[in-house]
């Protein structure tokens, strides 16, 4: 059974929330998934399971979310628009609800040309706003877009993805406001390893009436080389030059990367609007549990 205090309740309170992310394995064995997820049990407040991350086939995210629930870990189900038409997406959401999945992060999905099967055909029948609106209607009205009634109950708590920026003069959060209008209730962001940018971004959002709980994306960086690659290759990633220099100068870059991550968490916790962090560590998932342990006792800004 998953813990009685849910992610939704924690985000509504004063807990500094820590979510983590794992990519389900290329495997038909549930034990392979749990080998990645089990170290996070009792540490992460919830665990995202990705949906075909990198445009590559993995154990399906709905199945992965159900397995995590059976093992007492609260999942956040990622579901992309890339691979399914609206009929399949509606069916997946009904299936997720029937399994008791509550938390959703609805995404566009990586272009298949970026993956290992570039000839795969993308679908994109829905965009994320349309998928969000459909999930909200399933939850609040108990119906499909056709008006057909759906029995049972979908207790969804819906996230949006966002990409923080250092907002220039006159910038407005039009894209995020569209997701909010569709019904998203909290936000998980791309990597933003600069607390100053996060502070200025959240302040601008507040000026425009955006007050959703934000979980800022961070990572226990492994090396200056990997940090440079992320900064250059992963859309929207923010990593300051000073962080890369700190890794360059470190005798043990792996340990330094974890220390940087924990230092950043303490600073982010002082920013109004930051409800916590979302830790992503592609290829370095074993580091996540250590970072969470090291961050014990961090309190959210009042």
Read off the pLDDT of residues 43-56 as tens digits, 9 standing for 90 and up.
Answer: 999 999 999 999 99
In this structure, what DSSP letter does residue 149 have?
A: B
Tens-digit pLDDT profile for residues 247-289: 999 999 999 999 999 999 999 999 999 999 999 998 889 999 9
Cα 73 to Cα 33: distance, rounded to the nearest angstrom: 12
Q: What is the gyration radius of the CA atoms in the chain, in angstroms?
A: 19
Tens-digit pLDDT profile for residues 166-182: 999 999 999 999 999 99
Residue 39 in domain: yes
Residue 43: what pLDDT? Answer: 97
Cut 0.85: pTM above it = yes
User: Half-sphere exposure of 302 toward its Cβ, with a 13 Å CA cutoff?
Assistant: 0
Residue 301 in domain: no
Residue 250 in domain: yes
Tokens of 23: 């990519």
The CATH number of residue 273's host domain is: 3.20.20.220
The number of domains in the chain is 1
In the numeric block, the tokens 């000026």 are attached to 207
Residue 299 in domain: no
Residue 103 in domain: yes
* 3 state SS of 207: helix
CB 272 within 8 A of CB 252: no
Tens-digit pLDDT profile for residues 14-51: 999 999 999 999 999 999 999 999 999 999 999 999 99
Residue 241 in domain: yes
CA distances for 81 relative to 93, 220, 278, 300, angstroms: 12, 29, 22, 33
Cα 288 to Cα 44: distance, rounded to the nearest angstrom: 9
CB 289 within 8 A of CB 199: no
Residue 40 in domain: yes
CA distances for 108 relative to 58, 113, 180, angstroms: 17, 14, 16
* Interval 191-205 mean pLDDT: 98
Tokens of 269: 């916790």
Domain with 39 in it: 7-294
User: Given a cut of 90, is residue 4 above it in pLDDT?
Assistant: no
Cα 123 to Cα 183: distance, rounded to the nearest angstrom: 23
């Amino acid at each position: 059974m998953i813990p009685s205090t849910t992610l939704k309740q924690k985000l509504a309170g004063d807990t500094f929330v820590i979510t983590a992310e794992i990519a389900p394995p290329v495997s038909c064995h549930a034990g392979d998934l749990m080998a990645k997820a089990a170290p996070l049990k009792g540490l992460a407040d919830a665990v995202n399971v990705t949906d075909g991350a990198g445009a590559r086939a993995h154990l399906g995210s709905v199945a992965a979310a159900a397995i995590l629930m059976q093992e007492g870990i609260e999942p956040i189900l990622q579901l992309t628009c890339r691979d399914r038409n609206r009929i399949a997406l509606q069916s997946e959401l009904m299936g997720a609800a029937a399994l008791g999945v509550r938390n959703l992060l609805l995404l566009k999905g990586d272009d298949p040309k970026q993956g290992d099967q570039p000839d795969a055909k993308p679908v994109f029948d829905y965009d994320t706003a349309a998928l969000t609106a459909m999930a909200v209607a399933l939850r609040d009205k108990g119906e499909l877009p056709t008006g057909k009634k759906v029995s049972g109950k979908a207790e969804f708590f819906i996230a949006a993805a966002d990409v923080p920026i250092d907002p220039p003069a006159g910038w407005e959060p039009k894209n995020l406001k569209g997701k909010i209008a569709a019904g998203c209730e909290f936000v998980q962001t791309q990597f933003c390893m600069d607390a100053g940018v996060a502070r200025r971004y959240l302040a601008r959002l507040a000026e425009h009436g955006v007050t959703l709980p934000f979980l800022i994306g961070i990572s226990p960086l492994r090396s200056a080389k990997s940090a440079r690659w992320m900064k250059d290759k992963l859309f929207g990633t923010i990593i300051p030059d000073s962080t890369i220099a700190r890794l360059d100068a470190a005798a043990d870059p792996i340990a330094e990367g974890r220390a940087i991550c924990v230092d950043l968490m303490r600073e982010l916790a002082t920013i109004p609007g930051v409800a916590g962090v979302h830790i992503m560590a592609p290829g370095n998932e074993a580091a996540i549990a250590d970072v969470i342990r090291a961050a014990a006792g961090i309190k959210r800004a009042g």
